[in-house]
Amino acid sequence: MSPSQSDTAFVEFIRVQKSYDGENLVVKDLNLSMPKGEFLTMLGPSGSGKTTCLMMLAGFETATHGEIMLDGQPINNIPPHKRGIGMVFQNYALFPHMTVAENLSFPLEVRKMGKSEREEKVVRALDMVQMGAFGGRRPAQLSGGQQQRIALARALVFEPELVLMDEPLGALDKQLREHMQFEITGIAHNLGITVVYVTHDQTEALTMSDRVAVFDDGRIQQLAPPDELYEQPQNSFVAQFIGENNTLEGVVQSIENGVASVKLDDGEIIDANPVNVSKPGERTKVSIRPERVEFNKARLQEGAHTLKAEVLEFIYMGDVFRTRLRVAGNDNFVVKTRNAPDAVRLKPGEHIEIGWLPKDCRALDA
Amino acid sequence: MSDTAASGPVMSADGVPLKRSLNRALRAQKIRALALIAPLLLFVLITFIAPIADMLFRSVENQIVRETLPETVQRLGDWDADSGEPPSEAVFTALYADIFLAAERKLHTRLGSRLNYEETGASSLFRKTGRRVDRFDTDIYTDQITDLDPAWEAGATWAALFEAREARSALPFTARSWERWTDFVINEEEDDPLEEDVPDFLYTALYSELADGAGAGLDPRVDQVIDALPGFETVSVREQFLDADEDWGGADIWRTIQTYSPAYTSGYFLNAVDMEKGTDGPQFRPENEQIYLTLFKRTMFMSMVITFSCILLGYPVAWILANLPARTANLLMILVLLPFWTSLLVRTSAWKVMLQQQGVINDTLVWLGLVDDGSRLVMINNQFGTIVAMTHILLPFMILPLYSVMQTIPPTYLRAAKSLGATNWTAFWRVYFPQSVPGIGAGSILVFILSIGYYITPEIVGGTTGTFISNRIAYHISSSLNWGLAAALGTILLAVVLVLYWLYDQIVGIDNVKLGG
Ligand SMILES: Nc1ncnc2c1ncn2[C@@H]1O[C@H](COP(=O)(O)OP(=O)(O)OP(=O)(O)O)[C@@H](O)[C@H]1O
Ligand SMILES: [Mg+2]
């Protein structure tokens, strides 16, 4: 499974652009390639063009530029109903005048499938989402979670190889959501289908996906597996958007042996991993995850740079402690420590020194 | 748990049963709600419910015969209409009294018009008779009775006679006639009956009753007349009527009077469905006199055609409107509503200009060479004209509900259907259309009910073949003044609409009708 090789690609966006009004590009130069069987999530803030991409793939919007390929074929000129792509809509779009079974049977009917075969597939699809007993109900007689399952079953019943889901869990409460996340990934892996999943919930994206495409401003900012995305954000947007993050601003002074030394705006100097900076004099945002900050000197590498910090707030969160510090003029510098037996509970007003491993401290674009 | 026993009523904090304090709290709300709707309720009651009730009542009401000819109706009760003979002298005597009083009060022509609906010629018969009735030769009874005792000339004598209950029960017909006459003089002439000349018909009535052997021993003066009876010169009241108009000698007018003597009649309704009361029960009128059933059928048929045309023309428009961005849709909506801002008469007349033989459309067709100048199309003053003009006028009533229903159908349904493999047509037909049916239902009910009772447009552009039942109703209200028939036609129309509504409810379901979100 090597996503970069385009000859194994199942879904491919090649230099795709999209504009609705002829003035603004909603999608700018999108390149994306997915192998068969991958679960890819498009994650990004509202209005970043995720739904637009999905709609172009499904055929409801046309790309203003570029090519979209499905299984090696360009599909720009294939109408939606011939693409054979399953789709789960945000508001489920279950047909209100049909029963659940009729809803599921609809895609099979339009494919002119025989009655007995249809019934068999409907039953199987309903059983798959554990809704076997609800075939006779109308969508309005189902709860949100149940409707969601039916929408999923309907998108899968005609056995598409590619399924698109646009924020399918957006309307559910947290608990149900987590449960459904688990079920959807389970079903997707069991059936071996390729899934493009849209969400703006990063936890959902991280827990469900093989790879996540982080969208902003019509571009993919980073396309990577969840761990890589979290631990090695490629730019400051991704760093900010995924998980919690501390940012310190400064100027690169030198880059030597893969270590950049950054002079922060209040004059202190720290070491950082140069990800997005190439030469001295560049402005940079240095990003450190809260759980990678260390204030136990003993655990720090020898010769590591340390910074002075003042404790502003201590929050007990059960499994972790969340401590807010003032560091280099930044009042929102957060440190997370595991609630281990030997963990130190800092008190507001205390003055401490903090540090980190240079590789955890990423110098990104400003 | 709480101190209220599980079995007893729940008490509120002050010990009053909860139900009662709840009711008290709700009563104020109810009164306020009632006060708010009261003005409209009154308005509707006075301007809508009451007229409808009145119309329903008028369609069966038939007091006029029994009120104008009370004595005749009573005596005609056991006349056998099938005999083909006119009734007995006694009935004619009663008719004499009735018509005399009616003519005095100028009511006979009204009765004539009423009976004319059922029997042609009744109107002129009553008018003629009314003119002749005070010149009947019955004054010989007056002369003979007053010759016996001049006191009979004085109203006071009659008044004194009928003071006594025995006299009233012995000579009921005369007594009642006297009473009706005095009532008339007092109430309508505003005179003193005792100072008026006693009219001839009362002497005739007295004679007829005495001649039947009634009234002996009541009063010396009456006895005196009874004693003199065998020598009386007589005159046949029947002959007098036949002199006035021969029709009184036939059975037809009598049968009509007898048939329509009850206070309530199904006659108007029978009329309204082209039937009449024949010798043995209701029967259809001769083919050439049937108009209403044809009109009803035509009204139904054309209303359906109009409704259907409205659906055909309105559906695509509503679809476009519902799928456009709100701003454009609103602009176009104004165009749809534009007809509402133009007078109905102007619009209908415009169609007349457009469709007439020398009109715009014909001119264009001739100019294009599609139609020969000599054979210009007849598109106005017929059904076609009515259908075209009314479809145009009623179209907004179809588009508006369709639009507001379609607006509530999210476009994602169509997308979902297509993503499931449906072609554009299948997606529309299987997914979109069923959801727009409530709009079609609402629009159709509106358009159909409006068109079924439409009046102005068919009147102007309908000619003879394109008129509706409502035009006939209007004719009976304003020209022929046969309000009873108009009411019966209206009632049938109302019933038809209600039946159709019920059918619609059975087939489509009325909760499947939406005027909007
Ligand atoms: N039909 C349309 N016409 C014009 N502009 C549109 C249309 N649909 C979307 N847009 C614009 O395109 C941009 C991207 O929209 P899109 O729906 O793809 O965002 P999204 O990433 O799905 O956001 P969300 O998370 O809120 O669903 C937005 O700025 C939006 O205003
Ligand atoms: Mg979206």
The per-residue pLDDT for range A81-138, each reduced to its tens digit, is 999 999 998 888 999 999 999 999 999 999 999 999 999 999 999 998 888 899 999 9
Q: What is the mean pLDDT of residues A58-70?
A: 92
Q: Which of A87, A95, A97 sits opposite B419 (nearest CB)?
A: A87
Instruction: From A21, A46, A52, give the residue whose CB has the most ligand 1 atoms within 8 Å, as the site to mutate.
Output: A52
CA distance B391 to B382: 14
- What pLDDT is stored for residue A303 in this prediction? 66
Of A81, A86, A158, which has the smallest distance from its Cβ to B418's Cβ? A81
At residue B456, the 3 state secondary structure works out as: helix
pLDDT of residue B3: 47
In the three-class reduction of DSSP (H, G, I as helix; E, B as strand; rest coil), residue A182 is classed as: helix
Q: Report the alpha-carbon distance of residue B217 to residue B226 in Å, rounded.
A: 10
Tell which wins on pLDDT, A141 or A1: A141
For chain A, give the mean pLDDT.
Answer: 89
> How much helix, strand and coil, in percent to the nearest 5, is found in chain A?
30, 35, 35
Write out the two tokens for B456: 């102005």
What digits encode the pLDDT tens for the residues A342-359?
888 889 999 988 888 888
B250 and chain A in contact, CB less than 8 A: no
Looking at ligand 1, which atom is closest to the CA of residue A218? 14
Which residue's alpha carbon is at the smallest distance from atom 10 of ligand 1? Answer: A20
Distances (CA, A) of B253 to B227, B238, B275: 37, 14, 18
A158 touches chain B (CB under 8 A): yes
- Does pLDDT of A8 surpass 80? no
Which residues, including other chains, have CB under 8 Å from residue A8's CB and lie 6 or more apart? A2, A35, A36
Q: From the CA of A339, how many Å to the nearest CA of chain B?
A: 46
Task: Give the rounded percent of residues in chain A with a pLDDT score beyond 90.
Answer: 58
A26 Cβ closer than 6 Å to some ligand 1 atom: yes
Q: Are B264 and B61 contacting, i.e. CB atoms less than 8 angstroms apart?
A: yes
Residue B393's closest CA among B351, B453, B339? Answer: B339
By the 10 Å C-beta count (0-12 exposed, 13-18 middle, 19+ buried), A114 is classed as exposed
Q: How far is B433 from chain A (nearest CA, A)?
A: 10
- What pLDDT score does A1 carry? 39
CB atoms inside a 10 Å sphere around CB A81: 20
DSSP A336-347: EEE--TT-----
Domains of chain A are 9-236 (3.40.50.300), 244-365 (2.40.50.140)
| Contact between A95 and B417 using a beta-carbon 8 Å cutoff | yes
pLDDT for residue A6 is more than 70: no
> How far is Cα A245 from Cα A237, in angstroms, rounded to an integer?
11
Q: Cβ(A147) to ligand 1 under 6 A?
A: no
Judged by a CB distance cut-off of 8 A, whether residue A159 touches chain B is: no
Residues of chain B falling short of pLDDT 50? 1-5
Domains of chain B, by residue range, sit at 2-57, 70-284, 293-512
Listing DSSP states for B175-216 in one string gives HHHHHHHHHHIIIII-S-GGGSPPPHHHHHHHHHHHHTT--T
CB contact under 8 A, B421 and A58: no
B-chain CB neighbours of A97 within 8 Å are 434-435
Q: Whose CA is nearest to atom 28 of ligand 1?
A: A47
Question: What distance in angstroms lies between residue A17's CA and the mean position of ligand 2's atoms?
Answer: 17
Helix (H, G, I), strand (E, B) or coil at B311: helix
Q: What pLDDT does A2 receive?
A: 40
∠A191-A197-A203 over CA atoms, to 5°? 110
Task: Give the model's pLDDT for residue A5.
Answer: 44
Q: Smallest CA–CA separation between A139 and chain B, in Å? A: 13
Question: Does residue A249 contact residue A366 with C-beta atoms inside 8 Å?
Answer: yes
A147 pLDDT band, cuts 50/70/90, is: very high
User: In the beta sheet, which residues pair with residue A246?
Assistant: A288
CATH 1.10.3720.10 for domain B293-512, yes or no, is yes
Distance CA A305, CA A269 (A): 8
pLDDT at B8 (0 to 100): 66
pLDDT of B111:
92
Q: What does the pLDDT look like over B116-165, one tens digit per residue?
A: 888 889 999 999 999 998 888 888 999 999 999 888 988 889 999 998 88
Give the model's pLDDT for residue A7. 58
**Ligand with an atom nearest the CA of residue A44:** 1
Copy the structure tokens of residue B490.
Answer: 């209206």
Q: Which chain B residue has its CA at the smallest distance from A160's CA?
A: B420
Read off the tokens for A38.
């991958």
pTM for the complete prediction?
Answer: 0.76
Q: Is A22 in the pocket of ligand 1 (CB under 6 A)?
A: no
**Residue A271 · residue A303 · CB < 8 Å:** no
CA distance B167 to B152: 15
> Which helix H or strand E contains A324, and what residues bound it?
strand A320-327
